[in-house]
Amino acid sequence: MAAALGYDGVEVMVWTDAVSQDAGALRGLARHYGVPVLSVHSPCLLVTQRVWSSDPWERLRRSAVLAEELAAPTVVVHPPFTWQRDYARTFVDGLGRIGDDHPGVRFAVENMYPVRMAGREFVPYMPGWNPTETGYPAYTLDLSHCAASHSDAIEMADKMGAGLAHVHLGDGTGEGRDEHLVPGRGTQPCAELLASLAGRGFTGSVAVEVSTRRARSRADRESDLREALEFARQHLAAPTPVDAR
């Protein structure tokens, strides 16, 4: 579908699907369709805690190896969960060490969001959902997560500065949940953020990350993904200067 719609590449989410874990299979698909893998998302979601290993450092190491084998320069990683205390305690230093072991890969820590349930709010990440408060060499900016956390995406990009390595392009309405809407259908400054990237010296990839679960047919799914691609290309082609802040 990415090839048919004209996408320049894909991000692979390492999942329980064996193909997503297999460099050879992914290289074959990339060659067959002419669509390279430009980023790898490490298996750090709740449902992927046993993929490859129960050790989060081993999962991250294998993600780096997969990225190297696919010539993908970016590995996306989430902050540790609160119950991963040992991992969280060594996360900053550990990222530095694994970065030294894999110098061709940027480990881009993604901004997350508080979880709201039954009128209550809690943060399932350590030291928090906002990686700029800790500080890392590289970041992934997710606009849908900005909506869910009621964050200003432009301000967050400013805080990430030269560390902004990767963008997850989706939209949200700010209802407090992760919506991943087609860009332009929510309230986030998707167009403004895209137009600012050239002025920020951004050299990474913009990965469309939209939910198509409610699409009633393949045609509807293709329509949503085509609209997202056209939105991205339109606004990436219209750069605006960025004021130093």
For residue 108, pLDDT beyond 60: yes
What is the arithmetic mean of pLDDT over 67-85? Answer: 97
Query: For the chain, first and last CA: distance in Å?
Result: 40
> Which pLDDT belongs to residue 122?
84
Residue length of the chain: 245
Beta strands in 71-174 (DSSP E): 74-77, 106-110, 115-117, 120-122, 139-142, 164-169
**pTM for the full model?**
0.94
> Which pLDDT belongs to residue 241?
64
Task: Give the pLDDT band of residue 176 (cuts 50, 70, 90).
Answer: low
Question: Residue 78, Cα to own-chain centre: how many angstroms?
Answer: 9
How far apart, in Å, are the Cα atoms of 171 and each of 63, 106, 175, 187, 214? 27, 25, 11, 7, 15
What is the arithmetic mean of pLDDT over 173-184? Answer: 89
Lowest mean pLDDT among 40-44, 64-68, 114-118, 222-226: 114-118
Task: State the CB neighbour count (10 A cutoff) for residue 189.
Answer: 16
> Which pLDDT belongs to residue 201?
95
Average pLDDT, the chain: 94
> Which pLDDT belongs to residue 244?
41
> Which pLDDT belongs to residue 75?
98
Dihedral angle over CA of 78, 222, 149, 198, nearest 10: 80
For residue 206, pLDDT beyond 60: yes
For residue 243, pLDDT beyond 60: no
- Single-letter code of the amino acid located at 8: D
Residue that is written with structure tokens 């090839």 in the block:
3
CA–CA gap between residue 202 and residue 177 (Å, rounded): 28
Q: Of all residues in the chain, what percent carry a pLDDT higher than 90?
A: 88
Q: Which of 78, 87, 2, 92 is nearest to 46 (CA)?
A: 78
